[in-house]
Each structure stands twice: as C-alpha cells, then as structure tokens.
Amino acid sequence: GGALAHQLGGKNSQLVDLHEGNTGSKDTKRERFRCNVSCIAMWPGALVFPRPVHYKGEETFGGQMDFAVEMRFDYSHVPGKNVVIHGHGAFTMENIRTCLENRAKH
C-alpha cells in the first residue's frame, strides 16, 4: 500500500512494484493509472535544533515575521498575502498547508 509501494517508473513508465525489496518487476495485479498534478515536493528533514537566521533589513520589514516554533505565528496576517516560508522538512510542509488553509495568496 501507499505511494511508495506502487510507482510509475522503469521503461515506458511501467507500473512497477517496489514493495518488499522488488525493484523493477511489472505489477500485473493493478491497473495502470494516471494522476495529473502540478507539483510533487518532498523535503525529508531531520532538523532537531532550530538555528535562527537573521536577515539584513528584517528589523525594517513591515510584515509579520517569526520563527515557526511554539505556535507563536499569528496566522490572522496571512489572508490574501504572498507568504514566504524558509525552511525544509515536514514542519515546513505543515506551515505551507496552514497558510493555505488561512487563505494565503497562491
């Protein structure tokens, strides 16, 4: 099950079974399928200790700015705004989702 168990790949985009160490045999038990997407992104991260980065001019930046820790960011500033999320890993993906849920411009 899951996306990693059955993926398109190999010659001519065959549906291959990658489950249990099989790395290339055609999966004859499943029908071929297509899924149109605009983007697939993965950032597997393991950042345990946050490293604050200070940017030149951030003290004069007029928008909402904070480090995404301890639920301190005020998402009421997000609706209709272009949002920049600088980072990697699952927490970044969660922040992207939360900004979209709070009507960030996209």
Mean pLDDT of the residues in the chain? 69
Mean pLDDT value across residues 36-44: 56
Which residues, 6 or more positions from 41, have their beta carbon under 8 angstroms from its beta carbon? 93
**Where are the chain's structural domains?**
1-40, 41-106
How confident is residue 14, by pLDDT bands cut at 50, 70 and 90? low
Q: pTM score, two decimals?
A: 0.48
